């Protein structure tokens, strides 16, 4: 592996400077976005790429975005051909570098003194991109054409000028064009910020030094990851887990993995996983890769700088036409949201068996996706709310799992009650931890959440993409599984009715949707739990 002549101090300063560019891009996007999904929940990510499209630095934001974003950048580079300063390519097509349609990616070239020297990119989850259901979250879709507007890699800004015809086409196909216009412009602002900061960096260090430094940052991460893998036990470890179903066909869907450390590289083989589903839980390769990279990095050394270099030693075998490498025109909106979580579960389950000291109970295993849409009686205009809801984190060898947090492939905040009720004709009736949902163990799994939202003054359309409603998150080392989640409609008279885990319902005026999320799996024999912790659990009403 070639070595650079850049001294270690300059290299470390440069590495942090690249990360700072990504962080500032993301902060700019969040500050200028219109939708609560971005400016409150922060469902967006930003990253810096070298001139070949290798990711060299990222804002530590949404894992499912970041591991997949290099696929979008590669698609943009291939489609655009020759770039010019001021160009911004937009893409969301999962079969052309995207992940699922609500995630729209912007890619912008960085020119320094007339020479293409790097790229910057960001990805944001848009609360609606068309399709059969508000929020573009059809839990029973059977083909991608039902899920929203597909955008292949194409210039939305050309040499700094907005391509108005393309923007008009996009906005005509969504339910909330004003909000989408604002969020798209926020993404463009983030990219322009990234371009300016990268040009400052090239000016400060010199173009060649900065480019050599980016190459060495990648090599540094690769060396550290290879050193971690070289310490893995030899042999093959296997694990399997299941999705509840696909929203259309009943029955569990198997995800199966075998992992083998071969010298200083890791082979992660998903052969044996289920054929691609009829419903929308299919993952494209970019999503599977993203989940795989996240899980391996989490199980090795999370301080390794996350970039394309640390992914080089990881080989992924993902047979086409399966639920983890779907082919068009399969529906895929839930692959990015739910299947990505289960991919992490199977990889961490396998690696925990190989390295018992790093085993942990499964986290809640669902993003608990909810989209609510309708016409706001206050304004007469359409609205769409999209959010994910936290749940229980898995117990580990040293501590109980955390309560009510987003885990693994999602890393968003919640939608604050005040922001939700201000922006939408909805009322949050209940928002609390759900006692008894964490799996028992020497170290218990974290508690799930109960969140209840009522429609005010109108009839709302609700779409759900949730999982772990049939099989709870697994425990390890003798720990018990976390409780399953539950979705309930609460009628105006208070009667409760269990509703689908994947699909859509009508919510009449005064009715409420209650989502109870899964708890985390426990670690270790519950009989070994300390008397002090048992007393605390009882005192605080946790069990």
In a domain, 328, yes or no: no
From the CB of residue 254, how many other CB atoms can be counted at a distance below 10 Å? 17
Residue 281 placed within a domain: no
In a domain, 205, yes or no: yes
Q: What is the pLDDT along the chain (543 residues), one digit of tens a residue?
A: 445 568 889 889 999 999 999 999 999 999 999 999 999 999 999 999 999 999 999 998 888 887 889 999 999 999 999 999 999 999 999 999 899 999 999 999 999 999 999 999 999 999 999 999 999 999 999 999 999 999 999 999 999 999 999 999 999 999 999 999 999 999 999 999 999 999 999 999 999 999 999 999 999 999 999 999 999 999 999 999 999 999 999 999 999 999 999 999 999 999 999 999 999 999 999 999 999 999 999 999 988 999 999 999 999 999 999 999 999 999 999 999 999 999 999 999 999 988 888 899 999 999 999 999 999 999 999 999 999 999 999 999 999 999 999 999 988 999 999 999 999 999 999 999 999 999 999 999 999 999 999 999 999 999 999 999 999 999 999 999 999 999 999 999 999 999 999 999 999 999 999 999 999 999 999 999 999 999 999 999 898
The domain boundary residue, chosen from 153, 187, 222: 222
Cβ 170 vs Cβ 155: under 8 Å? no
Q: Would you say residue 294 lies in a domain?
A: no
Both tokens of 114, joined, read 């007339």
Question: Does 115 fall in a domain?
Answer: yes
In this structure, the number of other CB atoms found within 10 A of the CB of residue 428 comes to: 16
> Quick check: is 263 in a domain?
no
What is the span of the domain harbouring residue 142? 8-222
Residue 318 in domain: no
Contact assessment for residue 479 and residue 520, using Cβ atoms and an 8 Å cutoff: no
pTM above 0.85, yes or no: yes
Query: 149 lies in a domain?
Result: yes
Task: Report how many domains make up the chain.
Answer: 2
Of the residues 202, 222, 242, the one at which a domain ends: 222
Give Cα separations from 197 to 37, 60, 191 (angstroms): 26, 18, 10
Q: Which of 193, 222, 251 is the last residue of a domain?
A: 222
Q: Which ranges in 206-307 belong to alpha helices (H)?
A: 207-230, 285-299
3 state SS of 431: strand
Residues 218 and 363 in one domain: no
| Structure tokens given for 105 | 């990616």
The Cα 274–Cα 323 span in angstroms is 6
Q: What is the C-alpha to C-alpha distance for residues 386 and 373, in angstroms, rounded to an integer?
A: 9
């Amino acid at each position: 592996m070639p070595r650079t002549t850049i001294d270690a101090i300059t290299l470390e300063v440069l590495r942090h400077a690249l990360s700072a560019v990504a962080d500032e891009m993301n902060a700019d996007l969040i500050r200028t976005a219109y939708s609560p999904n971005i400016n409150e929940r922060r469902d967006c990510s930003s990253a810096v790429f070298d001139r070949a499209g290798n990711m060299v630095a990222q804002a530590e934001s949404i894992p499912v975005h970041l591991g997949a974003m290099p696929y979008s950048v590669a698609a943009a580079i291939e489609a655009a051909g020759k770039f010019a300063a001021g160009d911004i390519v937009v893409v969301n097509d999962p079969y052309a570098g995207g992940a699922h349609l609500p995630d729209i990616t912007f890619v912008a070239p960085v020119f320094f003194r007339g020479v293409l020297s790097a790229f910057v990119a960001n990805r944001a989850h848009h609360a609606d991109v068309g399709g059969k259901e508000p929020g573009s979250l059809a839990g029973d879709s059977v083909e991608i054409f039902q899920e929203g507007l597909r955008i292949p890699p194409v210039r939305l800004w050309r040499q700094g000028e907005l391509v108005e015809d393309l923007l008009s086409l996009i906005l005509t196909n969504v339910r909330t064009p004003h909000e989408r216009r604002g969020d798209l412009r926020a993404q463009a602002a983030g990219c322009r910020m990234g371009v300016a900061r990268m040009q400052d960096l090239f000016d400060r260090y010199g173009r060649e030094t900065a480019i050599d430094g980016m190459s060495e940052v990648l090599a540094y991460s690769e060396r550290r990851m290879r050193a971690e893998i070289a310490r893995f036990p030899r042999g093959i470890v296997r694990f399997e887990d299941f999705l509840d179903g696909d929203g259309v066909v009943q029955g569990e869907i198997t995800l199966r993995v075998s992992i083998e450390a071969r010298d200083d590289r890791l082979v992660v083989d998903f052969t044996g996983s289920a054929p691609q589903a009829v419903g929308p839980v299919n993952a494209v390769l970019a999503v599977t890769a993203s989940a795989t990279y996240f899980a391996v990095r989490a199980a090795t050394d999370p301080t390794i700088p996350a970039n394309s270099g640390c992914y080089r030693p990881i080989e992924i075998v993902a047979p086409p036409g399966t639920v983890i490498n779907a082919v068009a025109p399969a529906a895929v909106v839930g692959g990015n949201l739910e299947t990505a979580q289960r991919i992490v579960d199977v990889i961490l389950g396998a690696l925990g068996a190989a390295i018992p000291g790093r085993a942990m109970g499964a986290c809640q295993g669902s993003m608990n996706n909810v989209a609510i849409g309708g016409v706001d009686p206050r304004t007469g205009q359409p609205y769409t709310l999209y959010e994910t809801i936290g749940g229980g984190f898995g117990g580990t060898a040293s501590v109980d799992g955390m309560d009510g947090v987003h885990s693994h492939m999602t890393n968003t905040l919640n939608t604050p009650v005040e922001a939700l009720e201000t922006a939408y004709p909805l009322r949050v009736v209940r928002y609390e931890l759900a006692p008894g949902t964490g799996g028992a163990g020497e170290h218990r799994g974290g508690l799930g959440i109960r969140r209840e939202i009522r429609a005010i003054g109108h009839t709302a359309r609700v779409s759900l993409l949730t999982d772990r409603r049939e099989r709870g998150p697994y425990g390890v080392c003798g720990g018990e599984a976390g409780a399953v989640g539950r979705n309930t409609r609460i009628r105006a008279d208070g009667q409760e009715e269990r509703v689908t885990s994947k699909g859509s319902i009508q919510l009449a005026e005064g009715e409420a949707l209650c989502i109870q999320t899964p708890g985390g799996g426990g670690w270790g024999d519950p009989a070994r739990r300390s008397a002090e912790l048992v007393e605390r659990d009882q005192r605080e009403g946790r069990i």
